[in-house]
Structure 1
């Protein structure tokens, strides 16, 4: 019997998936959670064979949990389920050595097959996600521009950014102007969103 733990922040989907998996003769759901912190705590107690993790969850994301599982060297397989075909997420998933990275809109039969496949040592990445990675846009920002944008994304004012990076206020304004131009953004918030979407900001 394969023990499965399911973490998905949408309660309806969580319940539906758990019900589908429990119908399989050789699968049993040993627990569910709608936030990453609860999932991480219960996974250590439940000791499942396979963990299904959504990425966007409160407290800890699915990728946070996957990295904790890797760091603790728990003997289990991690399958990431996501609606986000973002290169930065995929790179983190690979770094956490997840067994599978799948899109949520796939058929339940494919998910069940993926669970069986990872249990025999296979690694599965949804083709759409691999395509998304190969089509990743090159970061146009210099190292200094990226440092300025990262500081702004952390909530620092222009003056605080200048102090942190040992720049004048005018130089920071010039950097911001260049960043907006390079990213074709109308304001700082949009620039941050664009950079995060492409995985240029952590």
Structure 2
């Protein structure tokens, strides 16, 4: 039996995935979690073969959880399963050590097949998203530019952003200006939206 953990902050989605995969003769759902921290704890407690993890969850997000699981529990292989099929998420998932990346609207048999293939040591990527990711290239933003754009999404003045990130006002302006240029945007709000749409934030 392939032992599987499912982590998703939406209880209905989590339950549906568990019910669907639980119908497979060779898959056993051993744990469920509603956020990234709970997912890491559940991997430690239940030793699943595969962890199926959403990207956007409260607290520790799925990509951070995937990286922690890879470091702390390398025998557990991670599949990112998300509603948001964004090229940047795919690149970040692979950088975090995930072994698979599929979108939630994939057919049920494709999800079960992905679990089996990843458990067998293979990598599984959504082919359309992989092609789109290659065409977009790598994220051009630095880590600090991404931090500043994330803070900009929440609104506030330059001073508010600077205070929250422990930077000077001038440094925040420089990072925002650079991020706006790299995304081809006209404003910081537009730069943040573009970066979010591409999965860079």
For 1:54, the equivalent position in structure 2 comes to 54
For 1:154, the equivalent position in structure 2 comes to 151
Q: Does 1:100 align with 2:100?
A: yes
Whether the 8 Å CA contact 2:183–2:194 is kept in 1: the answer is no
Q: Following the alignment from structure 1 to structure 2, what is the Cα–Cα distance between the partners of residues 183 and 101? A: 28
Whether the 8 Å CA contact 2:179–2:191 is kept in 1: the answer is no
For 2:85, the equivalent position in structure 1 comes to 85
Secondary structure, in 3 states, of the residue corresponding to 1:3? strand
For 2:2, the equivalent position in structure 1 comes to 2
Give the number of aligned pairs: 193
Alpha-carbon shift at residue 154 of structure 1 (Å) = 3.3
Alpha-carbon shift at residue 45 of structure 1 (Å) = 0.3
Could you give the per-residue CA deviations for residues 153-190 of structure 1, whole angstroms, max 9, x where no partner exists?
Answer: 435844576x9468599xx59x75993797343x4222
Q: Following the alignment from structure 2 to structure 1, what is the Cα–Cα distance between the partners of residues 177 and 96? A: 34
* TM-score normalised according to structure 1 size: 0.78
Secondary structure, in 3 states, of the residue corresponding to 1:135? helix
Alpha-carbon shift at residue 82 of structure 1 (Å) = 1.2
Task: Rate the CA distance shift 1:151–1:115 in 2: closer, same or farther, 3 A.
Answer: closer
Where does the alignment leave 5 or more consecutive residues of structure 1 unmatched?
none
Q: Does 1:17 align with 2:21?
A: no
* TM-score normalised according to structure 2 size: 0.78
Task: Rate the CA distance shift 1:25–1:149 in 2: closer, same or farther, 3 A.
Answer: closer
Q: Following the alignment from structure 1 to structure 2, what is the Cα–Cα distance between the partners of residues 78 and 168? A: 37
Whether the 8 Å CA contact 1:180–1:188 is kept in 2: the answer is no
Task: Rate the CA distance shift 1:13–1:182 in 2: closer, same or farther, 3 A.
Answer: closer
For 2:128, the equivalent position in structure 1 comes to 128
Query: Superposition RMSD on alpha carbons, in Å?
Result: 3.4
